[in-house]
Amino acid sequence: MPAGSRVRFGPASVGALNRADERAAAWTDGTLVVERMRLADFLGELGRYRGGVLRCDPEVGGLLVSGAFPLADTDAVLAMLEETLPVRLRSMSRYWVTVAAR
């Protein structure tokens, strides 16, 4: 498969070769790129790149997030969310963080 391509496959078939979505592959460059993603879903994705528990209060889970976020420093990403959205971080420790309404 050439670089920049994608293919969907299952147990019994292989789909057609397509051009890969550059945003979906941005993680290979250490960046999470999202557009109008629910905060709850965003934190689920971000949580894949950090140790511990990252929770989202249902009250703010529907807020929309867009941007390019560096995966090398997820603490900085969380701080950015606190500065730009009506949310606050509640930390029991560095490894247990809840994003809640301000």
As a whole number, the mean pLDDT across the chain is 89
Report pLDDT for 80.
Answer: 96
Answer yes or no: is 39 within a domain.
yes
Q: Which residue has the higher pLDDT, 77 or 14?
A: 77
Answer yes or no: is 14 within a domain.
no
| Residue pLDDT, tens place only, 64-101 | 999 999 999 999 999 999 999 999 999 999 899 999 99
Answer yes or no: is 56 within a domain.
yes
Report the number of distinct structural domains present in the chain.
Answer: 1
Q: Quick one: which H or E segment has residue 77?
A: helix 74-84
Question: What's the domain range around 94?
Answer: 30-101
Answer yes or no: is 34 within a domain.
yes
Report pLDDT for 76.
Answer: 96
| Mean pLDDT, residues 10-35 | 76
Answer yes or no: is 97 within a domain.
yes
Q: What is the CATH number of the domain that holds 69?
A: 3.55.50.30
Edge-first strand order for the sheet with 87-93 is: 53-56, 96-101, 87-93
Answer yes or no: is 67 within a domain.
yes
Report pLDDT for 52.
Answer: 95
Answer yes or no: is 19 within a domain.
no
Q: CA–CA separation, 16 vs 70, rounded Å?
A: 32
Is 80 exceeded by the pLDDT of residue 27? no
Answer yes or no: is 81 within a domain.
yes
Is 80 exceeded by the pLDDT of residue 18? no
